[in-house]
């Protein structure tokens, strides 16, 4: 049996009669048949194995799904146009009127918006727990609780949850356990191996890895993926074949990229701890991370995101961004280019300070998506910007 690093490269659409070596791009809306009977059979096929129309399935998209399922240790998967479509589709497929979902309070902004603004419109209620206090979850479970939703590590708090422990609790209460594995990627953590039911991703981030295309994916057991597939197929947020082609090529380098992202991130985290302008640094593989032992248990490295707090608060955050010479100022993450963001003055500026605190965003919090440049150049830029804060 091939190892994951090999599968990420060698799982491939069956070769066409052109004998191409690299994976081909099937940029076609629909597929043809030799006869009326064959076409009738395609539409009658419940195994869903025959290509009909690219909203339903497409060989390039299927290759990307096959790789993601293999890397996550899942039976099957579906792909979507964005990470949000994967998340929304998962909620819509498994939740209905009168159901209840429990979610970590610190989740991606648009996920939080779906939970708080849209689900109530359809009679779906939600409760929230703080990632630093997972013991709270048991007290939130109700007879109509159908789903538990977490990101681990979380964005941008980098909190870690014990996936194995939570999955045991969910199994006991017959609750579907869904993990957004976007920050770790399957190269670092495979939540299904620790008992999660469904794992989803914004493939826009580390899966693409070069900030080019948007995409999403959900993987899990066949019996769960089938209804999700039908929801996506009928409602339409399918992944485009072109984006799937970019993403499946990206997966070939996922393991080497994640190794280097994490190696650079750990070095930067250790160095930042020594700087006078920095009050604390958070990174899953730093010994003083509050859930360091859990991170070590379920992740193979600490991933590519580092956060730290500036002593000077909001003003220093803004000044720090302005002083950077190389790091990009953008809201994306998981790119070969290092990115800095200051949530309190940008992405989360509309929240009150108390609301920001609840989701782990302190006034001087800087999030670095550590890229693949030489670590000396990344660190050099960060340190020269920090040094300016003292003057
Ligand atoms: C970016 C992101 C999403 C949303 O994905 P899109 O591809 O932008 O729709 C969801 N979860 C996490 C953790 C993310 O970082």
The residue extents of the domains of the chain are: 4-253, 254-390
Task: Say how far apart CA 381 and CA 375 lie, in whole Å.
Answer: 10
**Proportion of the chain in helix, strand, coil states, percent, rounded to 5:** 40, 15, 45
Binning pLDDT at 50, 70 and 90, where does residue 46 land?
low
Task: Say how far apart CA 349 and CA 342 lie, in whole Å.
Answer: 9
- Reduced to 3 states, what is the DSSP secondary structure of residue 386? helix
Q: If you average pLDDT over every residue of the chain, what do you get?
A: 96
Which residues, including other chains, have CB under 8 Å from residue 285's CB and lie 6 or more apart? 262, 266, 269, 292, 295, 296, 299, 301, 302
Q: How does DSSP classify residue 143?
A: T
Report the separation in Å between the CA atom of 210 and the middle of ligand 1, taken as the mean of its atom positions: 15
Which ligand 1 atom lies nearest to the CA of residue 85? 9
Question: Of all residues in the chain, what percent carry a pLDDT higher than 70?
Answer: 99
pLDDT at 47: 64
Strand bridging mode 198-202 / 216-220: antiparallel
Pocket lining: 341 vs ligand 1, CB cutoff 6 Å: no
pLDDT at 1: 86
Q: What is the pLDDT of residues 76-128, one digit of tens each?
A: 999 999 999 999 999 999 999 999 999 999 899 899 999 999 999 999 999 99
Task: Say how far apart CA 156 and CA 116 lie, in whole Å.
Answer: 19
pLDDT at 391: 66
Q: What is the pLDDT of residues 196-247, one digit of tens each?
A: 999 999 999 999 999 999 999 999 999 999 999 999 999 999 999 999 999 9
Pocket lining: 84 vs ligand 1, CB cutoff 6 Å: yes
Nearest CA to ligand 1 atom 1: 202
pLDDT at 347: 80
Pocket lining: 214 vs ligand 1, CB cutoff 6 Å: yes
Tell me the fold of 4-253.
Answer: 3.40.640
Residue 189 has pLDDT above 70, yes or no: yes
Task: Say how far apart CA 239 and CA 67 lie, in whole Å.
Answer: 15
Pocket lining: 194 vs ligand 1, CB cutoff 6 Å: no
- Nearest CA-CA partner of 343 in 324, 369, 382: 369
End-to-end CA distance of the chain: 58
- Nearest CA-CA partner of 247 in 5, 75, 14, 82: 82
Architecture of the CATH domain 254-390? Alpha-Beta Complex (3.90)
- Nearest CA-CA partner of 247 in 199, 188, 207: 207
pLDDT at 48: 65
Instruction: Please give the distance of CA 254 from its chain centroid, rounded to a whole number.
Output: 14
Strand partners, 192: none
- Nearest CA-CA partner of 152 in 220, 200, 86: 200
Q: What is the pLDDT of residues 268-307, one digit of tens each?
A: 999 999 999 999 999 999 999 999 999 999 999 999 999 9
The two structure tokens encoding residue 42: 């395609």
Task: Say how far apart CA 242 and CA 25 lie, in whole Å.
Answer: 7
Residue 390 has pLDDT above 90, yes or no: no
Burial, 313: exposed, middle or buried (Cβ in 10 Å; 0-12, 13-18, 19+)? middle
pLDDT at 43: 85
Report the separation in Å between the CA atom of 180 and the middle of ligand 1, taken as the mean of its atom positions: 9
Which ligand 1 atom lies nearest to the CA of residue 204? 7
**CA torsion angle for 135, 161, 344, 280 (degrees, to 10)?**
100
């Amino acid at each position: 049996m091939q190892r994951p690093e090999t599968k990420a490269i060698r799982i491939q659409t069956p070769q066409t009669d052109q004998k191409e070596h690299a994976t081909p791009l099937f940029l076609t809306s629909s597929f043809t048949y030799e006869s009326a009977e064959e076409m009738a059979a395609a539409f009658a096929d419940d195994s869903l194995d025959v290509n009909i129309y690219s909203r339903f399935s497409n060989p390039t998209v299927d290759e990307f799904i096959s790789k993601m399922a293999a890397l996550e240790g899942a039976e099957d998967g579906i792909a979507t146009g964005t990470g949000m479509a994967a998340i929304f589709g998962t909620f819509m497929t498994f939740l209905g009127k009168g159901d209840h979902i429990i979610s970590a309070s610190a989740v991606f902004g648009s996920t939080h918006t779906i939970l708080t603004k849209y689900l109530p419109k359809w009679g779906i209620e939600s409760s929230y727990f703080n990632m630093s206090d997972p013991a709270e979850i048991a007290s939130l479970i109700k007879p109509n609780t159908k789903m538990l939703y977490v990101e681990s590590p979380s964005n941008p708090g980098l909190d870690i949850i014990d996936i194995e422990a939570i999955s045991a609790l969910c199994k006991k209460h017959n609750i579907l356990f869904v993990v957004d594995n976007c920050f770790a990627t399957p190269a670092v953590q495979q939540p299904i191996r620790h008992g999660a039911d469904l794992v989803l991703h914004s493939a826009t981030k580390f899966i693409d890895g070069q900030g080019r295309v948007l995409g999403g994916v959900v993987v899990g057991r066949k019996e769960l993926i089938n209804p999700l597939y039908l929801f996506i197929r009928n409602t339409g947020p399918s992944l485009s074949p072109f984006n799937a082609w970019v993403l499946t090529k990206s997966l070939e380098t996922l393991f080497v990229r994640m190794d280097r992202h994490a190696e650079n991130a750990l070095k930067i985290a250790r160095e930042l701890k020594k700087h006078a302008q920095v009050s604390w640094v958070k990174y899953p593989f730093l010994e003083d991370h509050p859930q360091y032992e859990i991170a070590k248990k379920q992740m193979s490295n600490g991933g590519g995101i580092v956060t730290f707090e500036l002593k000077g608060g909001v003003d220093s955050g803004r000044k720090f961004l302005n002083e950077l010479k190389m790091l990009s100022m953008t809201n994306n993450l998981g790119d070969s280019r290092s990115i800095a963001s200051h949530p309190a003055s940008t992405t989360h500026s509309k929240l009150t300070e108390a609301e920001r605190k609840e989701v782990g965003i302190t006034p001087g919090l800087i999030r670095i998506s550590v890229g693949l440049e030489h670590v000396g150049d990344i660190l050099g830029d960060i340190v020269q910007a920090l040094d300016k804060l003292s003057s």
